[in-house]
Chains A and B, each alone.
Chain A
């Protein structure tokens, strides 16, 4: 089968502490996949293991039918907001152009075609008017769009985002979800971690609930129910309203 991600019996440990255990998961290409779970449940570590950036103690990870290291040029990772230095003096356009560097050796410079690709990618996410703005001067939603444009410029088949919706207002969150749908239509596979369970229930093809191990996995409408969400979030409290909306309280 044509899989974007295939994880079997994955175990990851930091300093002898097991943070992920016996995790198996498959994501088909061209789907929108969400990862949910309590803080400290291993979501970010799981993403890093897909990127080959944490040592694996057991199991296997295959990305785009190859090892995660070999797959790297076809994978784009959008870090959590605090992982990026927003005061860095760089324009939106130059951030997007970085996507092209992935296909160049470290001594090669971007060509005219690379510059055009970067501009087209910025246009696809509706940010071309902001090309010469400093990245730090943008709103949270706009920053996410620029990073997604960088992934498009990279021609990444798999786009992995760590809590992209955190800190965005409701409008920006919906716009981001629309953008995910657009990426999916264009054949990209998108994997995101999120705390927004409604967003997963509404727009995602598949969901993985992680709390050290897999608590739930499958099509959101089929696997996300009150009992299992309570189990997943343990000491947190998911509340399901009569309208079907779900919120989680810490």
Chain B
């Protein structure tokens, strides 16, 4: 029975927590990922994920909360990059790559030198959604609500700045502040997503559903909605497949999301092959 297939994993509280966690993370990543895709911020987001990892290492060393350490270093990177961008005299993808891989390597060394931590290294790199505890779920819920409110409140201004930063600045919109806020929101989304899929795959949750959605709509709100649906779908299907075939859940979610993108590419290609509409009306 299909309902048995659906209900069986839910009897385990770790599965329920994992599903709630990944669902919220998928929604958050889709909303923020839409801006990341539209503004080409993938590389910067990746840098944030890697320095956030070093933040976790430092937090461990100092006995702080892991998320707090990750968030602080992630935001530091994000804000630093925003200001570097404005005074850009160097090609900053090079500078950024050197900086974040260096910080990441340092983080790995720090973690490896800590007693009893070698086992958890792989869970941070590849995610450990099945071991999400209630306390971590609170972090995810807080991030979801916090970013949700920030995004809703600043949405129109953020879109203006993303679409036409020069025009916005010329008209007196606080462009630097809004760009910084966006980077902070990206940092928060990245840090909580590391829970689910780990540092290495965090980009996939942020980017793949939004990129798939971008194939089908030219309206930013629809793009966010579609990305959210695709992200949710990938998370649930990924979690169920992982449960039934005992695969790593983070990686399975990412594979499903990637397949969605591949399918999306095929569908959008086929739609372009359809005969031209000569009635003069466009569909969007």
Contact = CB atoms under 8 A, between A and B. Distances in A.
Contact of B163 (A88, A106, A137): A88
Interface in B193-236: 214, 217-220, 222-223
Interface in A85-126: 85, 88-91, 94-95, 97-99, 101-102, 106-107, 109-110
A89 B223 contact: yes
A106 B38 contact: no
Given A89-B218, A101-B160, A51 B223 contact: no
A75 B170 contact: yes
B164 A79 contact: yes
B170 A76 contact: yes
B274 interface: no
Interface stretch (B61-69, B131-139, B172-180, B259-267): B172-180
Contacts of B222: 89
B171 A73 contact: yes
A86 to B, nearest CB: 10
A51 B165 CA distance: 13
B282 interface: yes
Contacts, number: 91
Nearest to B219: A89
B172 A94 contact: no
A238 B163 CA distance: 37
A95 B171 CA distance: 14
Question: Which secondary structure dominates chain A's binding surface?
Answer: mixed
Contact of B164 (A69, A98, A107, A154): A98
A79 B223 contact: no
Interface residues of A, number: 38
Contacts of B167: 76-79, 84, 98, 147, 150
Interface stretch (B5-13, B20-28, B118-126, B151-159): B151-159
B156 A134 contact: no
Contact of A88 (B154, B162, B217): B162
A27 B110 CA distance: 63
B171 A72 contact: yes
B284 interface: yes
Given A77-B170, A98-B164, A106-B178, A89 B217 contact: yes
A122 B219 CA distance: 19
A110 B156 contact: yes
B214 A89 contact: yes
Contact of A89 (B38, B164, B169, B172): B38
A89 B177 CA distance: 23
Contacts of B169: 51, 53
Contacts of A88: 38, 162-163, 220
B114 to A, nearest CB: 42
A141 interface: no
B166 interface: yes
B154 A89 contact: no
A72 B166 CA distance: 12
Nearest to A95: B163
Nearest to B284: A134
B171 A90 contact: no
A140 interface: no
A19 B219 CA distance: 41
Contacts of B282: 133, 137
A166 B61 CA distance: 59
A85 B163 contact: yes
A136 interface: yes
B246 to A, nearest CB: 40
Contacts of B218: 89, 134, 136-137
A169 interface: no
Given A73-B171, A101-B160, A134-B284, 12 more contacts: A51-B169, A53-B166, A53-B170, A72-B171, A75-B170, A76-B170, A85-B164, A89-B219, A97-B156, A99-B171, A106-B177, A137-B282
Interface of A: 51, 53, 69, 72-73, 75-79, 83-85, 88-91, 94-95, 97-99, 101-102, 106-107, 109-110, 132-134, 136-137, 147, 150, 154, 156, 160
14 contacts: A69-B172, A72-B170, A75-B170, A77-B166, A83-B164, A83-B166, A85-B38, A88-B162, A90-B220, A95-B163, A98-B156, A102-B171, A133-B282, A154-B171
Interface of B: 38, 153-154, 156-157, 159-160, 162-164, 166-174, 177-178, 214, 217-220, 222-223, 282, 284
